[in-house]
Amino acid sequence: MESFDELFSRRGFDREEIAMTAAGPIVAWSRMAGEARPTVYLSAGMHGDEPAGPLAIEAFWREQDPREVNWLICPILNPTGIQARTRDNAEGMDLNRDYLLQRSLEVRAHAAWLEKQVVPDLFLSLHEDWETEGFYFYEISLGEDQPYRARRILDEVRTVCPIEKNRRIDDHEVREEGWIHHEPQADFPDSWPEAIFLAKRGCPLSFTFETPSCALPLAQRISAQGAAIRAAMDEIR
């Protein structure tokens, strides 16, 4: 695997260390195409036992170099969790429930960095779920309901990965197979995930992609995440 430092430096990104953890820095990458261009924010590595996300970012950028948009990328948000292969950070905190109270070093630093950036037009968050057997995603949209976007993502992903068939996923009713249309409100008032934090900042559209970490080989999950990224990107090109 090519290091993110090598990959993104070669692609002309600016590097910023936003926090230092016991397992190394949290690094944010940015590349601006112009003020009039849309901005995409891509994040992964929030949970250390979900390896497909960071690897999908590496694979996507190794194969492509889309320059028509502004990019913000945080490929590894939980270095101590990645090192230990645990969902939580070294202090036992689920970082993706901390974006309101910001008790963790990682989230405080990350939220402060996000608040300095332009509000993205599209947020893509890469995750995995050990309890499911297929791909699914959450959509948060502040604008007009446009179901074709979700169906386009599912059509692309199902060419490389099965779609989750359960009608209820993680205590959420699906709108259609594999698609949770989520209100821009946290399930628990004090436990904001990153996607809710971005919605509260005014990000008009986000997708949180989930691949089945125990049901499929890693390479297939990476391919599914990549297909979902490419399909979502079609919305702003």
pLDDT per position as a tens digit, 149-194: 999 999 999 999 999 999 999 999 999 999 999 999 999 999 999 9
Residue listed under structure tokens 């949290």: 26
Say if CB 156 and CB 127 are below 8 A apart.
no
Class of residue 191 by CB neighbours under 10 A (exposed 0-12, middle 13-18, buried 19+): middle
Identify the CA nearest to 119 among candidates 64, 182, 70, 179. 70
pLDDT of 1 strictly over 80: no
Condensed to tens digits (0 to 9), the pLDDT of residues 23-46 reads: 999 999 999 999 999 999 999 999
Total domain count, the chain: 1
Residue 25 neighbours by CB under 8 Å, 6+ apart: 17, 18, 19, 79
Query: What is the CA angle 182-196-211, rounded to 5?
Result: 60
E strand or H helix that includes residue 62: helix 52-63
> By residue range, what is the domain housing residue 55?
4-233
- What 3-state class would DSSP assign to 183? coil
Q: Tell me what percent of the residues of the chain surpass a pLDDT of 70.
A: 99
What's 50's domain CATH number?
3.40.630.10
